A and B are shown apart, each in its own frame.
Chain A
């Protein structure tokens, strides 16, 4: 596909072409510095490079073609939106979380300044007309998780066709019932959008596809327990990031290929860093494309990341949806149960997250845990303290970092991370 054809497509999507070109140039440079400079990368990472280089190109073209063929596009911000239903309704689902500073001043006319960068970013991308995914969406699905998002969706709803799912704050039986009814309401919203009913067959098939994607990610996660680490944390994060917008079946196949290569590598005792390199588990807020700052700082400080306990990471693939129910209502029940296992910091209490982090660190042979909190994110800031206590009890060295999408604190963060890694050596 030529650049000119891409440009024409972006123009049809009414992007701000000049600003968009500048964004792609920065993204390309950033990707080169952080990804292409890596030593001993897997061959299968070519897929990642290709998808990323065409993130606003070929993938958007595919989505436009799907739209032309009558499919609807659904954008999401949170792993609480059941992808099984979206796919069962014959729609394309894309993640809209954004990991770069864009349109910040514009965003601050709609959300308060002390809002996390993730929220500011998706609002900014919309207002500055920079994201072809947002502009391709027929429906955007929000959810009542943190207060920042909840209120931002009120503003965002004036700019896009929105459906907001109510996500409960606790995990009692009545909460499960509430979320179950929200799943029903989401199904209706999809049916209204497409004009077609979601059938049991379609949902069973979609559940198999989404589970297959999760299984591939679980397999990748397990292989990272090997020492030397067979894949860098940066590449593994990218795999998780791409899982939110690439075609799910292609993604699953490619990740399985990547895993095959990792297995060969492990059998030969090869890896991306020498055996014995300090191994860190990252926990906390999700890192959306192209938020690679912290992984890069960590992996250029003599450590390797072996897992991401976050929604763009292990939390998104940990639980499978039960595939055994045969009738539609029971399938929807299974969805509600699967999604209510998510241990997001927006829940109270959320003790299972602490157990999950300690267990994951153990499975992956991590020497320490780094908690990433996005500045102004209250739920994860609270949990950063609790995770610290839990890690102390588990005997795991712990570093809590709070930062945002800016680069001004890179030097200081590097000092803290290097010092932390020094204590592990």
Chain B
């Protein structure tokens, strides 16, 4: 069996997963930066793998480097990846750097109804990144801070920029930082849960993408849907994994 590589070029990070058959051989990642193609080249020091599938918003771009590669959308790739990790999952939530997707999973990881955020960054990883920066914290520290909150104010603005203004106003009013941080996390979770409901949320729910590494987001999703989501060890590798597995099943 030949090795198949899945490459996921997202807005914030690039992941590679190599599989043989159903078995994962290696995983690597790099930040996207302003020069994603150089980053991709660096991820393949020994040249491109014999078979490659590309997903993510940069999938068309990658074809300039690897004209032989196949492409699939991140929606399909995440669905296949999530279904391989959690065959029982019925719904998928993927919150990445710039996109949020809710997908109803059909048997075998096929895609049923799906929703994706529109062009604005509200409800995506970017929202948390942006607001964490406004607090002068890393996203990890921002999540830790939020976990300590107990009485989150309602952040009504869904626009990333206005939410920051709202947070500043709340601070000036003396609301605790931890509570504001929690409120901001709740705002994005509320938005994504609304998307989940539109595709017909059913348990179990697989939660993947970079934001699934954020413990506060995971806790809030669980609270909002009423059960704990299934989160893989490396949730941001799901798209690359799905692309690789899809390729392994696709005749060359």
Contacts and interface: CB of A to CB of B under 8 A. Distances in A.
A63 B112 CA distance: 51
Nearest to B72: A422
Contacts of A420: 114
A419 B118 contact: no
A3 interface: no
Nearest to B71: A418
A415 B74 contact: yes
B119 A409 contact: yes
Contacts of B76: 419, 422
B73 A415 contact: yes
Contacts of B99: 412, 415
A96 B118 CA distance: 29
A419 B119 contact: no
A209 interface: no
Contacts of B116: 412, 415-416
A370 B111 CA distance: 17
Interface string A343-359: 00000000000000000
A418 B59 CA distance: 12
Contacts of A416: 75, 114, 116
Contacts of B114: 416, 419-420
Nearest to A400: B115
* Chain B at the A interface: SS class: mixed
Contact of A412 (B110, B111, B112, B119): B119
B57 interface: yes
Contacts of A415: 57, 73-75, 99, 116
B75 A412 contact: no
A392 B57 CA distance: 29
A319 interface: no
Most chain A CB within 10 A, of B73, B76, B112, B116, is at B73
Contacts of B73: 415, 418-419, 422
A411 B114 CA distance: 17
* Chain A at the B interface: SS class: helix
A158 interface: no
A423 B113 CA distance: 9
Contacts of A188: none
Interface in A110-160: none
Interface in B104-155: 110-112, 114, 116, 118-119
Contact of B118 (A402, A411, A423): A402
Contacts, number: 35
Given A402-B118, A412-B119, A423 B111 contact: yes
Nearest to B115: A416
A409 B118 CA distance: 8
Nearest to A421: B73
Contact of A422 (B57, B111, B118): B111
A396 to B, nearest CB: 13
B104 to A, nearest CB: 10
A18 interface: no
B154 to A, nearest CB: 24
A331 to B, nearest CB: 47
Nearest to B114: A419
A399 to B, nearest CB: 9
A3 B104 CA distance: 56
A423 B199 CA distance: 14
Given A412-B118, A412-B119, A419 B57 contact: no
Contact of A423 (B57, B112, B119): B112
A423 B103 CA distance: 12
A176 B119 CA distance: 42
Interface string A387-418: 00000000000000010000011011001101
A149 to B, nearest CB: 24
Nearest to A423: B111
Contacts of B74: 415, 419
Most chain B CB within 10 A, of A409, A422, A423, is at A423
Nearest to B78: A419
A311 to B, nearest CB: 24
A71 to B, nearest CB: 45
B92 to A, nearest CB: 12
Nearest to B79: A419
B103 to A, nearest CB: 9
A418 B73 CA distance: 7
- 7 closest pairs, A vs B, by CB? A419-B75, A419-B73, A409-B119, A418-B73, A423-B111, A422-B76, A415-B73
28 contacts: A402-B118, A408-B119, A409-B118, A409-B119, A411-B57, A412-B57, A412-B99, A412-B116, A412-B118, A415-B57, A415-B74, A415-B75, A415-B99, A415-B116, A416-B75, A416-B116, A418-B73, A419-B73, A419-B74, A419-B111, A419-B114, A420-B114, A422-B72, A422-B73, A422-B75, A423-B110, A423-B111, A423-B112
Given A409-B118, A412-B119, 18 more contacts: A402-B118, A409-B119, A412-B99, A412-B118, A415-B57, A415-B75, A415-B99, A415-B116, A416-B114, A416-B116, A418-B73, A419-B74, A419-B75, A420-B114, A422-B72, A422-B111, A423-B110, A423-B111
